[in-house]
Every structure is written in structure tokens, then in C-alpha cells.
Amino acid sequence: MDRYDVIKNSAEYALMAADVRLNRIMHAYLIVSPDEVTADALCDLFLSLCVFGTADEESVARVKTLSADIMRLPHGDKVLTSDVEELTDTVYLTPTELDRKYYVISKCDTMNETCQNKLLKILEEPPSSVVIVLKCITDRSLLPTVLSRVKRVEVKPLTESAVARYLKEISDDETGIYLAAALSQGYLYKAEKVLSDARYREIFALSVDTLKNMKSSRDVLRFSARISALKDSLKDFIDVTELVLADCMAASEGVRDGLKFKNAVRDIINISAEYDGDTVIRLMPRLSYARRRLKLNGNPQSVLDELLFSLLEVKAKCRR
């Protein structure tokens, strides 16, 4: 199973594939996804269906090599006026190899108002032989007039179990799989990134060890030094710790099969004896506060030390 196989099982792919199958291909689509890799794959599958009538591995590979009638923009990190002008200058030319001309514009949320208005003129009166596919992380910056002239396809996050099933096809690293699935937010690219980065395994192990063995304020300095040694990883430590604590809360209520970290059930159960549901609920705002402080350029060491003392403080108060 590869990424394309996963996407083929999605509602978004079914929606776009139905347009091809029923011969009702729209003149413009907008693919919205925080995961640019997934958006790219969905776009390639759609183009393959349009051009070859199938979306098998060979067809998808071939569609990536076509350039005469499939123009991919922008040429840089964001969409510039010159990119849109390249579209407007060629959009009325007759296709040379295919039945239609296709324009794929990535990062369209970087277009300024001038670019969007230039594009709008084509979207309002598109040639019948042209299909435009826009892709963006978010469509908040797009003009309502642009949005009204495209078929919007929002890529929904996958379930955590679906991400885990996919990762099991490409890896046998059990800890990495469950950690990546939990941190992925339902997006394959983020899951693959976590899975390929051994640093996350260290962060997970350190988070579990901190919750298990940091018993008093005398331990804070030792654990603070260990966490700080993982350079620029405090935000990830907070994110992982939040997930571990959520599992602890579930374990304290008797949940076993539904735990995220199936590779560490015994540790989660042991930790849940001290970090039960009430404790975790009281700790979550502290974790959110630490995350906000970091985002506002708070001193990382100060944020970390305050967070570790908070873990001890809230745990002690809830045990009284």
C-alpha cells in the first residue's frame, strides 16, 4: 500500500473521480489541504484519470512527465503576477498532445489580490478545453469571487487507525508507527515525517520516563537537563506529553484496547495511577499555556522548568 492507495479510498478522490467518470469535469477545482503532499497526490490521481482514464501507478508516473499541455505553477515559493500572466498568455492556445490543457497552481493561498483578480478573468470565462486545479493549505486568503468559481475539494484528515494501517505497510517500527499516527493529525506527510525522525522516539521515551520517575522537585533539574539536551524539541515534548497524558486518563478509566500507544500499555497503566483523569484534566491548561509561551518567544528553559513544576504541583494537589 502506498500513499496513492490510501487516497483512492478517500471521499475526496471519489468525488473527483465521479466527475471524470460521468463526463462532468469542471473548469476549475480548488484542493484545500494542510498536507501539501496529499494534495499533490490527489491532484496527480485526478489528472491521470482525466488524461488516461485510469489512475494506476504507470499512468500517475506518466502524467508527471507531461509538460506541453500540463503547466505547473508557480516557479518559485509563491504565486507571482508573472506566474498568472503565464497562464493567461497561453490558456487560449490549442492543446498540442491532449484533448485539454491543464493548469496546476500550487500555493495559491500566497496569491495577492492583483494575482487573484487576473486569474478571476479566466475563471469567469474559461475556454472549454481548459481545466485549472488550484491547491492551497487554507483558502482564507482567497477572494470570495474566486471561491465562487471553483469546485472546492477539502481534504479531510484520515482517522488515526487508517494512518497507522498505512504506516504498518511501510515500517515495522511499532513505537514509531503509533507515535507518528498519534502526532499526524490525520495527514500522511506529517506521519511519514515523524516516522522517519528518530528524535521523536527519544522524546516519547523521555516523556514516559519523566511522568514515571519525576517524583519530587529534587528531580526537576535532572529531567530538565535531559529534555533541554534535545535541542529545539520542547514543543514536540509538550505535544507528545499531552498525548501520553490523554492515554493515562483513558487507562485510569479502564480503557485498554483504545489507547493510542499500544506499544507502551504497561507504562501507561503504571503512570495512570498517579496521573488519573482528574489530574490530567487540570494539567491540560498548563500544557496549553506552555505552548503559548513558546509561540510568543518565551524563554524555553523557563517554560520547561515551569511546566515540570506544574506536573508535580497538580499531581500533588489531586492526591490530597
User: Coil, helix or strand for 53?
Assistant: coil
Query: What is the Rg, in whole angstroms, of the alpha carbon atoms belonging to the chain?
Result: 24
Q: What was the pLDDT predicted at 67?
A: 82
Q: What was the pLDDT predicted at 28?
A: 96
Q: Rounded to the nearest 5°, which phi and psi values hold at 134?
A: -95, 145
E strands along the chain, which residues?
28-32, 70-73, 101-105, 130-136, 151-154
Which whole-number Å values give the CA distances from 262 to 242, 251, 255, 267, in the listed order? 16, 11, 11, 10
Q: What was the pLDDT predicted at 232?
A: 85
Low-confidence stretches of the chain (pLDDT < 50) are none
Cell representation of residue 88: 493567461
Question: H or E stretch including 294?
Answer: helix 277-295
Fold topology of 3-154:
Rossmann fold (3.40.50)
Those residues with Cβ within 8 angstroms of residue 162's Cβ, 6 or more apart along the chain or in another chain: 6
Q: What was the pLDDT predicted at 237?
A: 95
Q: What was the pLDDT predicted at 320?
A: 65
Q: What was the pLDDT predicted at 308?
A: 96
pLDDT tens per residue across span 80-95:
999 999 999 999 999 9
Longest dimension (CA), the chain: 78
Taking each helix axis from N to C terminus, what angle separates 174-183 and 234-252, rounded to the nearest 10 degrees? 100
Q: Mind giving me the DSSP string for 207-225?
A: HHHHHHH--SGGGHHHHHH
Cell representation of residue 237: 515534548
Q: How far, in Å, CA of 236 to CA of 240, rounded?
A: 6
The half-sphere exposure of 309 on its side-chain side, counting CA atoms within 13 A, is: 8
Tell which residue, 246, 240, 170, 232, has the closest CA to residue 203.
240
User: Coil, helix or strand for 35?
Assistant: coil
First to last CA, the chain: 51
CATH code for residues 198-319:
1.20.272
Q: How far, in Å, CA of 147 to CA of 125, rounded?
A: 15
Q: How far, in Å, CA of 273 to CA of 211, rounded?
A: 11
Residue listed under C-alpha cell 511499532:
174
Q: Where are the domains of the chain?
A: 3-154, 198-319
